[in-house]
């Protein structure tokens, strides 16, 4: 079972996150577009979704809302970590389980993911 | 006295006059007019009435006709005795209406009719030309007295050369000091001061001669009286002729007002009406002094000089004969002064009338579009017209003098001029006193009088036609004067009664007549109960605050507290003047009368009020427009506020976007720099991550550069370096620079190289930046295979250029076309390829700075942009300021 699905369009950020989390032993998959994001989640059924707020074609908030409304209750309850580049002001994303502002400390990312996976 | 010495003395005198006139003009131009405005100067300048005719001719007149000469002094004396009552009001009206001549005054009164003014000018010119000739004749005659030893053999037209020189010199003087500027009040300080000085010389010379005659030639006053009585006996000129004398007194009284030169000094040159208080007694005194010794000189001349000596020259020949060379010279200067001052003032007055009522209207008619002329243009023309008129008047006078070969009797020509101008008087006096007088009446009166004067007086005087056959008991001159003036007045009254004045005329009539009688005694000294309505009325005109302030200050001036002054004439006059400044003299007068005087409003008063109410309505309309303007401004302000609010929202969004754009690369940089710190990395990873950090920090720098660039461009403060450039070169450079973007893609270029050789004046580097951006975008986003880039250059009609750059990709969807030039528009673009989306926003700002624009061209089968350049970039708004 896939540990983490990350939906992030910035290739360098995605690369960094995957590198950091892979070294902790988690299995990380990547989807680089808002479009197709929810299908990727449904297909992979990851234990954790890392979701960028600002995505091309479909925003992270929309994807999150659809996920929470999914018919499959276990899928709808998937923990979601939101990444945002909008600064502290937009940290209140009630449907997300956690929010991390870019740029982040790698330790914060690791700690947060670890807490959410356990 | 040698003739050369005479000429030298004469020239010195002329130089003195030039000097005095120049000094007075200078003083006046520096604002030092106090002594120039002294009533004495004014009174002395009035003595221009005593021309050479009076100076030389009065003695001749007395020799021929006895006491009759006194009539020409009596008329003015009677008029001046009533100066405070009559002339004062004339001066007030004239100054109120900025009148420049008698023709101007009458035309202003009768509805500002220029034709009437032109007619009066014609009369003045016809009447004055012989008169000017007469002065020239008198000067040359007096020269002849010195040039020849004989007393009897003086040719009347002998000194043609002298007259020419005199005429030329006078023309020069008049042009220099009479047409220096076009002052609004038409005053000539230099001329007036010089004339005042000449008046003193004139008087001194005549008095000195008189004293010499009475005490030097005769043996004192008693002996003199005996001689006069002796001469009077058996001379028919000494018989009292009531009809003739009355007529002469009337015309000379008319002449003191109506002669162009008299109107000039009496009315036009008067600074205000107060100086008439002095002139009212001083001028008759001057006339009396001038006439005192006329009879003694005449009698002594008859007794001491040969019978065929010219009596007009007794004043010169008497002292010369007695060996009193210096006295003769002084008398000569007196006569010279009399002649020159008359000619100068007469010429100025005639030139003003000719240019204002003949030449300028003609010029305005001949020019098809008078409104295109700027005022400066007309001003120059008026001055030149005046100079021309001066020359013409002087020349005609001289020609007349040469052509007629001189006139035997100086006095008769003077009377012709007097009677001519007297024809204007009924219209003038009627216009000032009678509100019912109108233009038809003025035309009829002046026209009738003019025709009769021509037929009965002027033409016979120049030898055309004959005096009408009259019974011997009727004096022809008295008959002509009475007939012309009576018919003139009759026609004036009858036509006025039956004619209908137009509104302008009514307005002018009311204004003239009410100025003549400004303070009605009937509305004086009433109770304070009348003051309050006045305050109410003033409030309506000025508004509450101003009205209260005026009334309070008036009450304080009377020593009262509060806001209600006593109804003194002084207060009413001041109130009327203040009101007149706001609503016009006529309305102010009528309003005050209706409230304070209780006098009934006449129909024409009401019409006047209606006319001015119309003006008030226009004023209201103007205010209404101003209010609408204010409302528009308020709307604009509201819009500006909305825009600012929207901008503020935009600014927040923009800051959010900037934050996003900055945080994104920083996230990579921070993450990888932490990763790089861990020891267990392969070299390949380390290299890769370092490169990512390098790229992302470059991206940050680019973003900051773009943001700075954009803010500079948006503020319009971008420093442009404008040079000529060739579009072909720029396109080449742009293509080569853009090839660094996606270098692996090979584009087929579709160009027309020859058409690209278009020279433009612009900031080449900035334009290059735009071209690179557009071409790079094409290289990034064109999704066609094989990709084609087409470039077309064309000159635009207005001397600018346009560049179309298009690719063959799928283009931009219609909905997004409007957005692509916005900042961060590529934010949600799947293919933003690391760009922040500022490129096209910068391009748009650059083109705006260059005075052109960049637009998206839809329907080109791909993404297509059109770049339009103006002929040259606009000058920044503040560049001019900086230069200044």
Query: Given a cut of 90, is residue B310 above it in pLDDT?
Result: no
DSSP string, B527-596: -GGGHHHHHHHHHHHH-HHHHHHHHHHHHHHTT--SS-----HHHHHHHHHHHHHHH-HHHHHHHHIIII
CA distance A116 to chain B (A): 20
Instruction: Tell me if chain B has a CB within 8 Å of the CB of A44.
Output: no
CB contact under 8 A, B663 and A16: no
Query: Given a cut of 70, is residue B263 above it in pLDDT?
Result: yes
Tokens representing residue B729 in the block? 């070169």
Chain B residues close to A105, C-beta within 8 Å:
670, 674
Chain B residues close to A10, C-beta within 8 Å:
664, 667-668
pLDDT in tens, B671-690: 999 888 888 888 888 899 99
3-state secondary structure (DSSP) of residue B881: helix
Burial class (CB within 10 angstroms; exposed 0-12, middle 13-18, buried 19+) of B515: buried
Residue B770: its pLDDT value, please? Answer: 92
Q: How far apart are CA B685 and CA B644, in angstroms?
A: 50
Whether CATH 1.20.1730.10 fits B3-404: yes
Q: How far apart are CA B387 and CA B383, in angstroms?
A: 6
CB contact under 8 A, B830 and A54: no
Q: What average pLDDT does the segment B136-161 reach? A: 64
Q: How far apart are CA B580 and CA B386, in angstroms?
A: 34
3-state secondary structure (DSSP) of residue B782: coil
CB contact under 8 A, A19 and B675: yes
Query: Given a cut of 80, is residue B215 above it in pLDDT?
Result: yes
Residue B599: its pLDDT value, please? Answer: 45
CA distance A47 to chain B (A): 23
Q: What average pLDDT does the segment B416-443 reach? A: 86
A28-42, A75-89, B40-54, B66-80: which is most confident: A28-42
Expressed in percent and rounded to 5, the helix, strand and coil fractions of chain B are 70, 5, 25
CA distance A2 to chain B (A): 23
Instruction: Tell me if chain B has a CB within 8 Å of the CB of A16.
Output: yes
pLDDT in tens, B744-803: 888 899 998 888 998 889 999 999 999 999 998 888 888 888 899 999 998 887 788 999
**Nearest-by-CA chain A residue for B692:** A12
CB contact under 8 A, B666 and A102: yes
**Nearest-by-CA chain B residue for A10:** B664
Q: How far apart are CA B662 and CA B654, in angstroms?
A: 12
B88-97, B455-464, B749-758: which is most confident: B749-758
SS (H, E, C) B5-72: HHHHHHHHHHHHHHHHHHHHHHHHHCCCCCCCCCHHHHHHHHHHHCCHHHHHHHHHHHHHHHHHHHHH
Q: Could you tell me how many CB contacts below 8 A there are between chain A and chain B?
A: 71
Show Cβ contacts of residue B274 under 8 Å, excluding neighbours closer than 6 positions. Answer: B39
Tokens representing residue B664 in the block? 């994104």
8 A C-beta contact, residue B30 and residue B196: no
**Nearest-by-CA chain A residue for B696:** A12
CB contact under 8 A, A10 and B668: yes
CA distance B778 to chain A (A): 20
Q: How far apart are CA A102 and CA B197, in angstroms?
A: 101
Four-residue CA torsion sign, B303, B307, B309, B310: positive
Best residue of A11, A16, A53 to probe chain B, by most B CBs closer than 10 Å: A16
Angle between helix B425-433 and B439-453 (nearest 10): 160
Residue B219: its pLDDT value, please? Answer: 82
Q: How far apart are CA B103 and CA B424, in angstroms?
A: 9
Q: What average pLDDT does the segment B839-864 reach? A: 87
Q: What average pLDDT does the segment B577-588 reach? A: 56
Chain A residues close to B674, C-beta within 8 Å:
105-106
Of A12, A87, A101, the CB nearest to B692: A12
Which secondary structure element, helix H or strand E, spans residue B801, and what is its range?
A: strand B801-807
**Nearest-by-CA chain A residue for B670:** A103
Confidence of residue A27 (pLDDT cuts 50, 70, 90): very high
**Nearest-by-CA chain A residue for B833:** A10
Q: How far apart are CA B97 and CA B267, in angstroms?
A: 12
Tokens representing residue B820 in the block? 């692509």
DSSP string, B714-740: HTT------EEEEHHHHHHHHHHHHTT
Of A13, A33, A86, the CB nearest to B667: A13
Half-sphere exposure of B272 (CA within 13 A, CB side): 4
Residue B601: its pLDDT value, please? Answer: 42
Which secondary structure element, helix H or strand E, spans residue B791, and what is its range?
A: strand B788-795
B11-15, B304-308, B555-559, B832-836: which is most confident: B11-15
Query: Given a cut of 60, is residue B600 above it in pLDDT?
Result: no
CB contact under 8 A, A85 and B669: no
Q: What average pLDDT does the segment B221-235 reach? A: 78
Closest to B136 in 3D by CA, of B479, B437, B407, B434: B407
Q: How far apart are CA B575 and CA B595, in angstroms?
A: 12
Residue A46: its pLDDT value, please? Answer: 92
Pairing of strands B864-869, B801-807: antiparallel
Residue B510: its pLDDT value, please? Answer: 72
Of A33, A86, A103, the CB nearest to B670: A103
Confidence of residue B374 (pLDDT cuts 50, 70, 90): very low
Of A86, A101, A106, the CB nearest to B675: A106
Confidence of residue B56 (pLDDT cuts 50, 70, 90): confident
High-pLDDT (> 70) share of chain B, %: 81
Confidence of residue A17 (pLDDT cuts 50, 70, 90): very high
CA distance B784 to chain A (A): 22
| Alpha-helix runs per DSSP H in A1-118 | 11-23, 37-44, 60-68, 73-76, 106-117
Residue B524: its pLDDT value, please? Answer: 41
Closest to A102 in 3D by CA, of B833, B660, B694, B691: B660
Q: What average pLDDT does the segment B133-162 reach? A: 66
Angle between helix B603-677 and A11-23 (nearest 10): 40
Q: What average pLDDT does the segment A23-38 reach? A: 90
Tokens representing residue B824 in the block? 């961060």
Residue A28: its pLDDT value, please? Answer: 92
Q: Name the residue with higher pLDDT: B316 or B468.
A: B316
Of B659, B671, B829, the CB nearest to A16: B671
Four-residue CA torsion sign, B779, B783, B787, B789: negative
Residue B581: its pLDDT value, please? Answer: 54
Long-range CB contact pairs, A91-100, < 8 A, 24+? A93/A53, A93/A61, A93/A64, A95/A61, A95/A64, A95/A65, A95/A68, A96/A51, A96/A64
**Nearest-by-CA chain B residue for A17:** B671
CB contact under 8 A, B830 and A9: yes
- What is the number of H-type helices and E-type strands within chain A? 5, 5
Query: Given a cut of 60, is residue B878 above it in pLDDT?
Result: no
Residue B503: its pLDDT value, please? Answer: 64
High-pLDDT (> 90) share of chain B, %: 8
Q: How far apart are CA B210 and CA B197, in angstroms?
A: 20
**Nearest-by-CA chain B residue for A85:** B660
Separation in Å, CA B380 to CA B336, B365, B737: 33, 17, 65
CB contact under 8 A, A85 and B667: yes
CB contact under 8 A, A103 and B827: no
Of B665, B674, B695, the CB nearest to A106: B674
Chain A residues close to B670, C-beta within 8 Å:
103-105
Q: What average pLDDT does the segment B267-289 reach? A: 84
Residue B580: its pLDDT value, please? Answer: 56
**Nearest-by-CA chain B residue for A11:** B668
Q: How far apart are CA B434 and CA B426, in angstroms?
A: 11
Burial class (CB within 10 angstroms; exposed 0-12, middle 13-18, buried 19+) of B746: exposed
Show Cβ contacts of residue B292 under 8 Å, excluding neighbours closer than 6 positions. Answer: B207, B210
Of A12, A56, A102, the CB nearest to B828: A56
Q: How far apart are CA B66 and CA B235, in angstroms?
A: 8
Residues in B whose CB is inside 8 Å of some CB of A read 656, 659-660, 663-672, 674-675, 685, 692, 695-696, 827-830, 832
- Mean pLDDT, chain B, rounded, equals 79
Residue B583: its pLDDT value, please? Answer: 52
Residue B490: its pLDDT value, please? Answer: 92
CA distance A54 to chain B (A): 7
Query: Given a cut of 90, is residue A7 above it in pLDDT?
Result: yes
Chain B residues close to A87, C-beta within 8 Å:
656, 659, 663
Q: How far apart are CA B755 and CA B397, in angstroms?
A: 78
Ordered domains of chain A (ranges, CATH): 4-117 (3.40.50.2300)
Q: Quick one: residue A45, left, alpha or beta (phi over 0 = left, psi -120 to 50 = alpha)?
A: left
Q: How far apart are CA B356 and CA B373, in angstroms?
A: 17
Best residue of B829, B830, B832, B837 to probe chain A, by most A CBs closer than 10 Å: B830
Of B664, B675, B692, the CB nearest to A85: B664
Residue B344: its pLDDT value, please? Answer: 86
CA distance A75 to chain B (A): 27
Closest to B18 in 3D by CA, of B202, B180, B170, B181: B170
Residue B519: its pLDDT value, please? Answer: 38
**Nearest-by-CA chain B residue for A87:** B659
SS (H, E, C) B176-231: HHHCCCCCCCCCCHHHHHHHHHHHHHHHHHHHHHHHHHHHHHCCCHHHHHHHHHHH
Confidence of residue B152 (pLDDT cuts 50, 70, 90): very low
Q: Name the residue with higher pLDDT: A92 or B315.
A: B315
| Alpha-helix runs per DSSP H in B405-502 | 410-422, 425-433, 439-453, 459-461, 476-498
CATH number listed for the domain at residues B721-883: 3.30.565.10
Q: How far apart are CA B763 and CA A81, in angstroms?
A: 50
Q: How far apart are CA B732 and CA B737, in angstroms?
A: 9
Instruction: Tell me if chain B has a CB within 8 Å of the CB of A88.
Output: no
Residue B238: its pLDDT value, please? Answer: 64
Residue B373: its pLDDT value, please? Answer: 42
8 A C-beta contact, residue A78 and residue A48: yes
8 A C-beta contact, residue A45 and residue A1: yes
Instruction: Tell me if chain B has a CB within 8 Å of the CB of A103.
Output: yes
Query: Given a cut of 50, is residue B174 above it in pLDDT?
Result: yes
Show Cβ contacts of residue B647 under 8 Å, excluding neighbours closer than 6 positions. Answer: none
Q: How far apart are CA B837 and CA B823, in angstroms?
A: 6
Phi, psi of B689 (to 5 degrees): -65, -40
CB contact under 8 A, B663 and A102: yes
Rg (CA), chain B: 45
Best residue of A85, A89, A113 to probe chain B, by most B CBs closer than 10 Å: A85
CA distance B644 to chain A (A): 23
Q: How far apart are CA B31 and CA B24, in angstroms?
A: 10
Q: Does residue B175 have a cis bond before it (omega within 30 degrees)?
A: no
Q: What average pLDDT does the segment B358-382 reach? A: 60
β-strand partners of B790: B750, B806
Show Cβ contacts of residue B225 under 8 Å, excluding neighbours closer than 6 positions. Answer: none
CA distance B640 to chain A (A): 29
**Picking from B487-501, B566-580, B736-750, which range would have the lowest pLDDT averaged per residue?**
B566-580
CA distance A48 to chain B (A): 20
Closest to B495 in 3D by CA, of B547, B437, B433: B437
Q: What is the dihedral of CA B345, B347, B353, B355, to 10 degrees?
A: -130
Query: Given a cut of 80, is residue B634 above it in pLDDT?
Result: yes
Given 1.10.3210.10, 1.10.8.60, 1.10.287.130, 3.40.50.300, which CATH number is that of B614-711? 1.10.287.130
Indicate the domain borders of chain B: 3-404, 520-601, 614-711, 721-883
């Amino acid at each position: 079972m896939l540990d983490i699905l990350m939906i992030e369009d910035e290739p360098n950020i995605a690369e960094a996150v995957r590198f950091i989390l892979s070294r902790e032993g988690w299995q990380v998959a990547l989807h680089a577009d808002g479009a197709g994001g929810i299908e990727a989640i449904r297909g992979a059924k990851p234990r954790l979704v890392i979701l960028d707020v600002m995505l091309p074609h479909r925003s992270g908030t929309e994807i999150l809302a659809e996920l929470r409304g999914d018919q499959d209750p276990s899928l709808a309850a998937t923990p979601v970590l939101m990444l945002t580049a909008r600064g502290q002001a937009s940290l209140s994303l009630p449907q997300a389980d956690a929010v991390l502002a870019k740029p982040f400390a790698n330790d914060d990312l690791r700690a947060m993911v670890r807490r959410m996976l356990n | 006295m040698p003739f050369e010495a005479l000429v030298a003395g004469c020239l010195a005198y002329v130089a003195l006059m030039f000097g005095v006139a120049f000094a007075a003009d200078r003083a006046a131009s520096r604002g030092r007019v106090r002594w120039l405005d002294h009533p004495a100067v004014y009174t002395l300048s009035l003595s221009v009435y005593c021309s050479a005719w009076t100076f030389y001719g009065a003695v001749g007149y007395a020799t021929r006709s006895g006491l009759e000469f006194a009539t020409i002094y009596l008329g003015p004396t009677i008029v001046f005795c009533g100066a405070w009552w009559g002339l004062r009001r004339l001066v007030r009206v004239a100054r109120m209406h900025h009148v420049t001549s008698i023709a101007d005054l009458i035309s202003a009164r009768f509805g500002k009719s220029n034709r009437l003014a032109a007619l009066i000018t014609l009369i003045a010119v016809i009447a004055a030309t012989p008169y000017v000739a007469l002065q020239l004749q008198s000067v040359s005659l007096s020269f002849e007295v010195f040039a020849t030893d004989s007393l009897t053999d003086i040719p009347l037209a002998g000194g043609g050369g002298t007259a020419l020189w005199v005429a030329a010199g006078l023309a020069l003087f008049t042009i220099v000091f009479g047409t220096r500027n076009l002052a609004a009040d038409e005053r000539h300080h230099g001329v007036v001061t010089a004339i005042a000085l000449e008046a003193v010389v004139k008087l001194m010379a005549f008095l000195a001669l008189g004293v010499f005659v009475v005490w030097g030639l005769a043996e004192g006053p008693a002996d003199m009286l005996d001689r006069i009585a002796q001469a009077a006996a058996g001379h028919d000129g000494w018989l009292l002729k009531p009809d003739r004398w009355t007529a002469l007194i009337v015309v000379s009284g008319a002449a003191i007002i109506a002669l162009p030169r008299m109107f000039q000094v009496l009315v036009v040159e008067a600074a205000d009406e107060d100086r008439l208080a002095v002139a009212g007694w001083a001028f008759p005194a001057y006339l009396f002094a001038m006439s005192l010794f006329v009879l003694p000189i005449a009698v002594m001349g008859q007794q001491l000089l040969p019978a065929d000596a010219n009596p007009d020259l007794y004043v010169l020949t008497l002292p010369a004969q007695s060996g009193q060379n210096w006295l003769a010279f002084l008398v000569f200067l007196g006569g010279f002064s009399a002649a020159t001052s008359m000619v100068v003032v007469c010429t100025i007055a005639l030139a003003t009338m000719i240019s204002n009522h003949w030449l300028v209207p003609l010029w305005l008619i001949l020019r098809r579009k008078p409104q295109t002329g700027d005022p400066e243009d007309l001003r120059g023309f008026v001055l030149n017209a005046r100079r021309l008129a001066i020359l013409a008047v002087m020349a005609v006078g001289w020609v007349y003098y040469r052509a007629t070969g001189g006139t035997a009797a100086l006095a008769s020509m003077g009377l012709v001029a007097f009677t001519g101008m007297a024809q204007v008087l009924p219209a003038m006096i009627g216009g000032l006193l009678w509100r019912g007088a109108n233009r038809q009446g003025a035309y009829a009166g002046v026209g009738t009088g003019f025709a009769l004067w021509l037929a009965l007086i002027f033409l016979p005087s120049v030898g055309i036609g004959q005096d009408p056959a009259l019974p011997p008991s009727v004096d022809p001159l008295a008959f002509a004067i009475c007939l012309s003036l009576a018919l003139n007045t009759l026609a004036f009254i009858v036509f006025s009664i039956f004619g209908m004045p137009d509104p302008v005329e009514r307005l002018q009539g009311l204004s003239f007549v009410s100025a003549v009688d400004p303070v009605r005694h009937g509305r004086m000294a009433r109770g304070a109960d009348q003051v309050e309505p006045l305050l109410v009325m003033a409030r309506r005109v000025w508004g509450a605050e101003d009205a209260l302030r005026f009334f309070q200050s008036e009450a304080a001036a009377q020593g009262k507290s509060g806001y209600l002054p006593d109804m003194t004439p002084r207060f009413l006059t001041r109130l009327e003047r203040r009101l007149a400044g706001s609503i016009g003299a006529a309305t102010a007068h009528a309003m005050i009368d209706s409230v304070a005087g209780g006098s009934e409003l006449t129909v024409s008063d009401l019409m006047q009020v209606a006319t001015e109410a119309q003006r008030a309505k226009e004023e209201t309309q103007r205010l209404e427009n101003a209010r609408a303007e204010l409302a528009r401004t308020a709307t604009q302000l509201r819009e500006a506020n909305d825009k600012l609010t929207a901008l503020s929202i935009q600014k927040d969004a923009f800051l959010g976007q900037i934050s996003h754009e900055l945080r994104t690369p920083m996230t990579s940089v921070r993450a990888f720099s932490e990763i790089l710190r861990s020891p267990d990395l392969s070299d390949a990873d380390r290299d890769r991550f370092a490169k990512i950090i390098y790229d992302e920090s470059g991206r940050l720098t680019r973003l900051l550069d773009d943001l700075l660039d954009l803010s500079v461009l948006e503020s319009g403060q971008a420093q442009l370096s404008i040079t000529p450039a060739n579009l072909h070169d720029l396109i080449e450079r742009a293509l080569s620079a853009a090839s660094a973007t996606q270098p692996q893609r090979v584009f087929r270029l579709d160009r027309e190289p020859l058409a690209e050789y278009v020279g433009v004046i612009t900031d080449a580097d900035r334009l290059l930046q735009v071209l690179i951006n557009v071409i790079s975008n094409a290289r990034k986003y064109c999704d066609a295979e094989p990709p084609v880039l087409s470039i077309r250059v064309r000159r635009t009609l207005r001397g600018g250029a346009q560049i179309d750059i298009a690719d063959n990709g799928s283009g931009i969807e219609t909905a997004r076309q409007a957005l692509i030039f916005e900042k961060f528009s590529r934010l949600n673009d799947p293919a933003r390829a690391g760009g922040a989306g500022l490129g096209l926003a910068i391009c748009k700002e650059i083109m705006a700075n260059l005075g052109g624009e960049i637009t998206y061209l839809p329907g080109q089968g791909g993404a297509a942009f059109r770049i339009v350049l103006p002929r040259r970039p606009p000058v920044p708004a503040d560049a001019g300021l900086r230069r200044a």
